Amino acid sequence: MGKYVGNTESMRDPFVSNLHRIVQEQRKKEFEDSEQLSLGELIEKLKTIPDPKGDKTVEFDFAGTFPTTLESYRGSYCELALGWDVSGYKAWTVKKGEEKNIPTIKQLIKELESAIGKIYQGWKGGDFQMDVDTPIWVDNSGNCNQTAIVDVKDAGWGVFLITKCMEDFS
């Protein structure tokens, strides 16, 4: 689980700091009973996939999307969100030079490993250092849609990050 390491005005308040600690303890318990992957678990799963040519790409299991970059997750600043973009026939709507490439396994592992020990700024402030036990979500900057990465599947020609909405709608 990532941890708060920065100073914001509100975190200097003992009440707010204690409240933050209590929420983090509760979230840690929830995460232990969850199928959601941590940063370290995702890296390890990706490393086990055979990729002799080094050209297998990684996509999400929804709507022709692929992973982009990491940020602090708006739903819990001490957790990570892996951004996404759309693949397929989008190229004609993108300005020249702005195209994003679907990452290979090796490229995504490099991006994920760069987050270990890195400090990210929370959506409304504060600095949070991530580690291998940090939960990882799927969301773009400013969003909080409760979509977690729960598995990795090798399709032979490419890899899919399996997601699940963790919101209880009952």
Can you give the residue ranges of every domain in the chain?
3-165
Q: Decide: 62 and 163 in contact? Cβ < 8 Å.
A: yes
Single-letter residue type at 35: E
Helix (H) or strand (E) run with residue 149 in it: strand 147-154
pLDDT of residue 91: 46
Q: Decide: 121 and 114 in contact? Cβ < 8 Å.
A: no
pLDDT tens sequence across 78-135: 899 999 998 765 544 455 555 568 999 999 999 999 999 999 998 888 888 999 999 9
Q: Please state the pTM of the whole predicted model.
A: 0.86
Q: Which residues contact 42 (CB under 8 A, 6 or more apart)?
A: 112, 136, 149, 152, 161
Q: Give the whole-angstrom CA distance, residue 87 versus residue 102.
A: 7
pLDDT of residue 95: 52
pLDDT band at 69 (very low <50, low <70, confident <90, very high): very high
- What is the length of the chain? 170
pLDDT of residue 123: 85
Q: Give the whole-angstrom CA distance, residue 93 versus residue 88.
A: 11
pLDDT of residue 106: 96
pLDDT tens sequence across 8-65: 555 667 887 787 778 778 888 888 889 999 999 999 999 999 999 999 999 999 988 9
pLDDT of residue 92: 45
